[in-house]
Amino acid sequence: MTTSYSKGVTRRGLLGAFAATALVAAPTYSNAFGLLRGAGDVRKLNMYSGRTGEQIDMIYWIDGDYIPEALQEVNRFMRDWRTDGTISMDTRTVDILAASHRMLETDTPYVLLSGYRSPKTNSMLRSKSRSVARNSLHMKGQAADIRIQGRSVAQISRAAISCSAGGVGKYSRSNFVHMDCGPIRIWGR
């Protein structure tokens, strides 16, 4: 079941998600105020790929600026492992992943199942499963399928949904959550 709520990710929505996680994660008000002023404000991504055996645990954004070299590493990490093809991942998707992970309050990395998919890979997967979209946002670098040890699909999807920043698909039978920066919508069980 797909429910559509709005046209997509807004900067205000993502900033709100990060501000909310800064307040929740801050042990004292003084720390929260420091983060909200931008003093030491960072975004990080912690992921592992069972397909390639690679892991990234890195800061990709500091005080309002993306770090180009870090984003290049993210692009390489989230490549189509079947074809070795890369694309510039949409930073909105990276931000949704990071904000959701922060809300889960864990140091355990995400397990990346699928980031970028080439049209060839998407077509092959589509021939094997009805749940693969013909015009998947994975082909535009705007989606990721992830899981995290110690957290359920319900917990991960709740964190992603609370970002109010894109699509969230719950795949409980396959134990993963789809996150994208497309229109805000929720599907699956």
pLDDT digit string, tens, across residues 139-169: 999 999 999 999 999 999 999 999 999 999 9
pLDDT at position 145? 97
Flag whether pLDDT at 3 surpasses 60: no
Lowest mean pLDDT among 14-18, 19-23, 32-36, 111-115: 32-36
- Which residues form the domain of 79? 3-188
pLDDT band of 86, cuts 50, 70, 90: very high
How far is the C-alpha of 179 from the C-alpha of 150, rounded, in Å? 18
pLDDT band of 7, cuts 50, 70, 90: very low
CA 43, 110, 164, 119 dihedral sign is positive
pLDDT at position 102? 94
Question: Number of structural domains, the chain?
Answer: 1
Question: Is the model more confident about 80 or about 11?
Answer: 80
Q: How is residue 80 annotated by DSSP?
A: B
Q: Write down the pTM of the prediction.
A: 0.78
Q: What is the CATH number of the domain that holds 84?
A: 3.30.1380.10
pLDDT at position 13? 53
